[in-house]
């Protein structure tokens, strides 16, 4: 099986072989995913990404694995492409960090009050959501929207390029804030009240559906057969959650990368006044499950700091930067990672210093001071989130499973255990690609249940446990954090 896992900064092609109830993986191809800014608008280079997918298939063939049983693609959420009546792409998709004027959000809430929008969809209200992007199109570029005949979320768009089939996978559709939480289909009333064209939305298929095969043209181009294409979990978060190696259903998870998605898994949406006030979201998962979680801006801040330092000619590796963090004095200053100041790309070190200045804190100057400020703030954000989860659910969550590329930052994992006062189990790093592969295996009939998937993951990949310590100091830091970011 071949998984294409595309994140906000890079993509990879991962080969998976399921052998005797053990999954073996191999990275075949890795490539950067670089947004392109043109005239103050930010786009995804979708054609380059599709080219890299074809290169990944070719590398799989050249490595001796011509007998590919299936292929699946997962990506980030909320973004989309538009096709015209001939199925031609109407321009590069916009990046979710492309700014949307505040006035457009205010207009949306006049048409659908914020409370009603949340109660209908169960989705955390964020300006990056597909709903707000489409409303921005209606106000800014109505001719483009009127020409569109099909909307496809990013993984579905890439599946369309591979197969010619237009379909929308459930997990990625749920990130749009255009799905009804009750019937798990497009909410026609929301679409109508916003004045959006209802005909552009395609049929929703469950995660793990075989939607078609590699088109004859691409099969001929690559010199391979018409391989089945599976809509696994189009949303990378849901693929990662499927790969959490938990032995029971009573756990909290953090899928950690550019964003951190922290929550629990349930069978039905959790929508009430508390969940709305605390900005929790209900996204579609695998096997008709719901992931009740919070979106937290995470290693984006670190990535942007490193990019700025690289631009200034002062480039250090992540390992070198982590060493500087350990040398920095603890609990000096804090930031709210989700503050709007930090959304757009740019000079992140300067923004962090400015945030600390405005909140009357000691201003972090050195690289280690800035990164320690970010890591400590993120760990405390995890603490507040798990406490909020327990408050909404009315039950304790003593174990946190951390998966994804962010767990390579051992300092952040240790900080998370200390800040939350809970056992933290980390691994696997490639959780998203592994979940993608195992959902493919389920679609092909090789495994039967999500529990079996998790059992195979637990036996195939090592985990690391972090026991909490220094909890008194972190408790004091949490109080300071609340005073600063309120």
Q: Could you tell me which residues are beta bridge partners of residue 3?
A: 14, 72
Q: Which residue has the tokens 């570029």?
A: 141
How far, in Å, CA of 128 to CA of 260, rounded? 15
The first and second tokens of residue 229, run together, are 């294409």
Q: Do residues 254 and 295 lie in contact, with contact meaning Cβ atoms separated by under 8 Å?
A: no
Choose the catalytic residue: 74, 187, 236, 369.
Answer: 236
Q: Write the CB contacts of 81 (distance below 8 Å, at least 6 apart in sequence).
A: 46, 89, 90, 93, 151, 152, 154, 157
How far, in Å, CA of 138 to CA of 82, rounded? 13
CA 217, 222, 224, 227 dihedral sign is negative
How far, in Å, CA of 135 to CA of 140, rounded? 9
How far, in Å, CA of 291 to CA of 337, rounded? 22
Estimate to the nearest angstrom the gap between the alpha carbon of 473 and the chain centroid.
31
Q: Cβ–Cβ contacts within 10 Å for residue 46, how many?
A: 18
DSSP assigned state of 369: H
Strands (E), 192-258: 204-205, 209-213, 228-231, 252-256
How far, in Å, CA of 204 to CA of 267, rounded? 19
Is the bond into 428 cis (omega within 30 degrees of 0)?
yes
Pairing, β 2-6 against β 71-74: parallel
Q: Do residues 185 and 191 lie in contact, with contact meaning Cβ atoms separated by under 8 Å?
A: no
User: Is 236 annotated in the active site?
Assistant: yes
How far, in Å, CA of 385 to CA of 415, rounded? 15
How far, in Å, CA of 205 to CA of 77, rounded? 16
Estimate to the nearest angstrom the gap between the alpha carbon of 399 and the chain centroid.
22
How far, in Å, CA of 251 to CA of 253, rounded? 7
The first and second tokens of residue 30, run together, are 């890795």
DSSP assigned state of 469: -
Q: Do residues 382 and 262 lie in contact, with contact meaning Cβ atoms separated by under 8 Å?
A: yes
Q: Which residue has the tokens 């200045």?
A: 357
Question: What is the per-residue burial (b if ≥16 Cβ within 10 Å, else e) of 427-451?
Answer: bbbbbbbbbbbbbbbbbbeebeebe
**Catalytic residue IDs:** 236
């Amino acid at each position: 099986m071949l998984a294409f896992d595309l994140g906000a900064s890079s993509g990879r092609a991962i080969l998976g072989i399921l052998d005797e109830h053990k999954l073996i993986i191999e990275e075949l191809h890795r490539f950067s995913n670089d947004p392109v800014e043109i005239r103050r608008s930010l786009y995804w280079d979708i054609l380059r990404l599709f080219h890299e997918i074809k290169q990944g298939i070719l590398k799989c063939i050249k490595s001796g694995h011509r007998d590919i049983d299936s292929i699946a693609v997962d990506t980030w959420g909320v973004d989309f492409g538009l096709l015209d009546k001939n199925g031609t792409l109407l321009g590069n998709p916009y990046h979710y960090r492309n700014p949307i004027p505040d006035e457009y959000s205010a207009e949306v809430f006049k048409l659908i009050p914020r409370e009603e929008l949340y109660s209908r969809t169960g989705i955390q209200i964020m300006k990056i959501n597909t709903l707000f992007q489409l409303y921005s199109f209606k106000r800014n570029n109505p001719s483009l929207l009127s020409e569109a005949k099909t909307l496809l979320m990013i993984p579905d768009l890439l599946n369309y390029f591979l197969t010619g089939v237009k379909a929308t996978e459930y997990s990625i559709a749920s990130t749009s804030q255009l799905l009804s939480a009750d019937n798990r289909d497009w909410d026609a009333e929301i679409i109508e009240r916003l004045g959006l064209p209802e005909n552009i939305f395609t049929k929703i298929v469950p995660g793990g559906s075989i939607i078609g095969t590699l088109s004859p043209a691409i099969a001929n181009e690559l010199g391979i057969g018409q391989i089945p294409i599976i809509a696994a979990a189009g949303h990378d978060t849901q693929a990662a959650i499927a790969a959490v190696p938990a032995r029971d259903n009573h756990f909290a998870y953090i899928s950690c990368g550019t964003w951190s998605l922290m929550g629990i898994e349930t069978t039905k949406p959790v929508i009430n006044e508390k969940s709305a006030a605390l900005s929790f979201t209900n996204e579609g998962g695998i096997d008709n499950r719901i992931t009740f979680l919070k979106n937290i801006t995470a290693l984006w801040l670190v990535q942007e700091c490193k990019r700025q330092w690289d631009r200034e000619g002062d480039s250090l590796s992540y390992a070198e930067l982590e060493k500087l963090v350990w040398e920095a004095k603890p609990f000096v200053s804090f930031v709210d990672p989700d503050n709007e100041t930090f959304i757009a790309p740019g000079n992140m070190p300067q923004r962090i210093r400015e945030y600390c200045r405005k909140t009357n804190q000691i201003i972090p100057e050195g690289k280690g001071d800035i990164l320690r400020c970010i890591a400590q703030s993120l760990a405390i954000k995890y603490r507040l989130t798990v406490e909020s989860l327990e408050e909404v659910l009315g039950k304790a969550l003593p174990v946190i499973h951390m998966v994804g590329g962010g767990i390579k930052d051992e300092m952040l994992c240790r900080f998370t255990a200390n800040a939350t006062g809970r056992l933290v189990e980390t691994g696997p790093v490639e959780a998203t690609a592994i979940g993608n592969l195992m959902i493919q295996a389920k679609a092909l009939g090789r495994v039967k249940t999500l529990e079996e998937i998790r059992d195979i993951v637990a036996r195939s990949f090592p985990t690391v446990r972090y026991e909490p310590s220094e909890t008194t100091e972190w408790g004091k830091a949490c109080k300071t954090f609340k005073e600063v970011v309120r």
